[in-house]
Structure 1
């Protein structure tokens, strides 16, 4: 496509209502802004994807209560075990205590298994629902959105960020519920045994409040950076595998390995920074609580020796204190995990808030037969003008060829006609109706496109043809395959039309892929046909087969052809020469040759074997 490479320069605005609202109401304090954004995002996630699971969440909460309370009960039972049995030297009641401990462990295991199953299943359902919603929304956006956002970044949104949310919706929720209840039950046991011991053990924890808050901001920043680095990795891999043939032909393996290695190192640095933040909170808690352990050991030991406390009380307290540290460490990282989840959620909703700029009309009109007209059409990609008042007519049922140097606007004409982009001025009409008044579905149903690069999907030949019309019968698919000369090579394959084409059609040759694309267009049977030099990269035999198929496809259709080799459009009903976004000549091949203008000069150069950049 001669001027397709300039499409990425377009930067249409994709509207984000939430972001604009937050910006207008932004508090002076940045932390207040972050808190408001977090509440908004989590509230939206709850309303849109989680609230429907409320009954199962309540059941999981009840099971968490059982699992969390069991550790407190076990710690409490240590006192009679030491005071009434070991201290008294009696085995009386040991059987009942053993049975009680066994029952507690079984209850803990059953409750833990059930609540994990419930929470994980909810997390998976939320994640897959978000993934489906994201893909559906992405497919509704304009082509310009995909020019602005590389595939790797979008894949990271659909996969990486939704998986991060799965962790937020499952492991984080489980930890928050279970560990909070565990913490409460163990603190109760500690307070029952001695409130002064409890104060000594935990007095240093308030000192960690400010450091933990600071670490949470660091975690959010570094997690965001590591996600973006992962997106760049995905983009580079996509480019590398898509361009593997060029890499092989130009011996770029070492260069690409080095380039990828540098990107991996950047990702590694960001990921390690994020992990350092996650590891900081448990380390700080361990340091503070170690001092509490020592204080209780000395103070409590003195009370036991003095006879003010029993060994059972001390062991029960120490058991609860020892069991307290694991849930406390996990809870110290909850805020960081929530921050990481919010960062992912923010990126996901940024995608969901993007709005298409190419909108269907409020009252769409049907496509009527007639000429295609461009009247004083202007268009620019960003600040780069492409069409400067283009006017041309493609008569109904005839073939109109577009020729001209690279960047003249030929491919842009196709994008405007199909409303992948809209003009900044002028009108484009079909049968007298401005295309902006036609329904988008109806407009695109009326147009079939065969380009230089054929979009084939990793399914069978037949299914790739059927994409032209999804309700087509097997007989119709076969008829289209025969008309496009697909059967010529498909019948030689073991599974015929049911043979897989591989990713992007890699199992087929260039000519075979083009014939499949032509069969798809034939099956679509649209009244308007757009051909973007579909034979430019084919060998002589494949080109002849494709040209024959295109001739059959063009019969009775309004056809627009982008031509790079003038020999392929000699028989066109009209040839329009474009230069710098305007039509400078038009006529039949004979008329343009007789005029001895730009077309004739290009033709003579190509006939002499001189390469021209059309």
Structure 2
């Protein structure tokens, strides 16, 4: 996408709602910029009528006029910056909010190849670059362009020949600036990519900090981070240096121009053709011209840096959500018989399911067992349409789930996994998960049924106690019971249990198992388990291996069969 097209997209999607704020800010910027021309114009009477002419009356009005210029400039500057802050922060916040909302619609295959740290950098880091561009570009348009026009007007009014001499070297900048812009854009892309790698590394370090400390690899992880940091610093320094080179070249041209004017104009003043006031007015105008000119030049570098971020953001926005509600969704089925029909699925080129077929009857418990990598967790992802199969179909009540409303489909499921997802909010908020209309009695009943009421009551702040980042303020068993309370309150007809007791001690496992028994009563339940003792009472056990069903039946049937399940059972219980 071209730069103009990206700016047009930004305007239509995010900047247009703030057009009146922008217009007011631009007007104030124009006033602020014009004050530079007014100041340089007042230098002429300051010298000719006050310093050289000695006019006492001119002292007062020149002093008042100069003071007025600075007051107007100050007020207009504060006003435009305040308006720009309001509009800029709101439009950046809108981009961040929309981007996060869009990222949450993308399926698990996308998130497997885009780690959280990299996405955080997209949402926060790349949009911050746009915030800086927003300020510099509009300031260049509204303030610096007007300042240039007013200052050139003053300079030309004094002597157009002097002006021509001062800017004669400007055309020499065109080719070097174009080269620097390409360099800045290339190095900025590398810097943003490296920043994403840094964010990913930090995310992994902080989430795996306990493992790092126990394994004594702090120095190794710090060295790996420093290596990534060096790569980022190198790319960022190259981008910043290239961006700084554009205004630097303008300074060189300014030096040549000033020298030419000083030689040419100095002889005219000596010869009496020009006054000192005229020269000082011109000199002030030209001195002031190069500051907004430098800022305008810096904008081109800032744009190239921001363009790299904008391209990355637009690439995410352009990535379509592949799992969506169909145009005319079918109604939810009356029965909850689950059917996996000849399903094939792969993450990238890694096959997870290969012609998988089985059924789970309503109101019964169906257990999925098998070695790691057999495809058990992928079945849960397919049921909730976190991913879609490459071939085959997943049906509930005889209806392909791809024909159902997505939110209604996911409303059929309650999930309890071995890694209960809790947030750094209160226990109450983690149980409710945004659910409105829950009475205190219903909330307390859910805690009681989940065997969570006792430990919650013992907390200093009860259910209002923060669970900590990722639930770190709670033990493993407590996190599981909070997740079960959440599932109980959700009261969905299909229950998905993914190794819900695998990481618990015996006492916690007993309490969680009792809570799960309460939760699964009367529901269609699918259980993933490696510990076969937890599923021996299931109505049906489905044995998976390499993405296929190799056996299915009750515990007794499979033991009598003497196949894969019997061998797994013997390995676990041979002692």
TM-score (norm 2): 0.97
Match of 2:482 among 516, 524, 541: 516
Q: Which runs of 5+ in 2 are unaligned?
A: none
Work out whether residues 461 and 500 of structure 1, in 8 Å CA contact, stay in contact via their aligned partners in 2. yes
**1:378-415, Cα deviation, whole Å (9 max, x unpaired):** 22223333222222121111111111111211111111
- Tell me whether 336-345 or 402-411 shows the greater mean CA deviation: 336-345
Work out whether residues 468 and 521 of structure 1, in 8 Å CA contact, stay in contact via their aligned partners in 2. no
Match of 2:277 in 1: 312
Match of 1:456 among 379, 404, 422: 422
Match of 1:59 among 11, 18, 24: 24
Q: Which runs of 5+ in 1 are unaligned?
A: 1-21, 23-36, 610-614
| 1:303–1:584 Cα change, 3 Å | same
Structure 1 SS opposite 2:379: helix
Q: Tell whether 2:156 aligns with 1:183.
A: no
Q: Tell whether 2:44 aligns with 1:79.
A: yes
Match of 2:346 in 1: 380
Q: What displacement does 1:496 show?
A: 1.1
Match of 2:559 in 1: 593
Match of 2:321 in 1: 356
Work out whether residues 26 and 138 of structure 2, in 8 Å CA contact, stay in contact via their aligned partners in 1. no
Q: What displacement does 1:450 show?
A: 0.8
Q: What displacement does 1:460 show?
A: 0.8
Distance 1:388 1:49 in 2: 45
Match of 2:544 in 1: 578
Work out whether residues 578 and 584 of structure 1, in 8 Å CA contact, stay in contact via their aligned partners in 2. yes
The RMSD of aligned alpha carbons is: 1.5
- Tell me whether 308-317 or 470-479 shows the greater mean CA deviation: 470-479
Match of 1:255 in 2: 220
| 1:368–1:88 Cα change, 3 Å | same
Q: Tell whether 2:326 aligns with 1:329.
A: no
**1:508-565, Cα deviation, whole Å (9 max, x unpaired):** 0111101111111111111111111111111111111111111111111111111101
Structure 2 SS opposite 1:572: coil
Q: Tell whether 2:158 aligns with 1:193.
A: yes
Distance 1:468 1:40 in 2: 39
Distance 2:248 2:27 in 1: 31
Distance 1:85 1:414 in 2: 87
Structure 2 SS opposite 1:356: coil
Match of 2:258 among 278, 286, 293: 293
Structure 1 SS opposite 2:56: coil
Structure 1 SS opposite 2:221: helix
Structure 2 SS opposite 1:183: helix
Work out whether residues 344 and 392 of structure 2, in 8 Å CA contact, stay in contact via their aligned partners in 1. yes
**1:573-599, Cα deviation, whole Å (9 max, x unpaired):** 111111222222122111211222221
Distance 1:298 1:427 in 2: 85
Match of 1:542 in 2: 508
Q: Tell whether 2:81 aligns with 1:116.
A: yes
Q: What displacement does 1:445 show?
A: 0.6
Work out whether residues 378 and 387 of structure 1, in 8 Å CA contact, stay in contact via their aligned partners in 2. yes
Work out whether residues 344 and 354 of structure 2, in 8 Å CA contact, stay in contact via their aligned partners in 1. yes
Distance 1:362 1:113 in 2: 50
Q: What displacement does 1:468 show?
A: 7.7
- Tell me whether 486-495 or 365-374 shows the greater mean CA deviation: 365-374
Q: What displacement does 1:175 show?
A: 2.9
Structure 2 SS opposite 1:41: helix
TM-score (norm 1): 0.91
Distance 1:427 1:55 in 2: 52
**1:214-258, Cα deviation, whole Å (9 max, x unpaired):** 111111111221111111111111111011111111111111111
Match of 2:431 in 1: 465
The number of residue pairs the alignment matches comes to 574
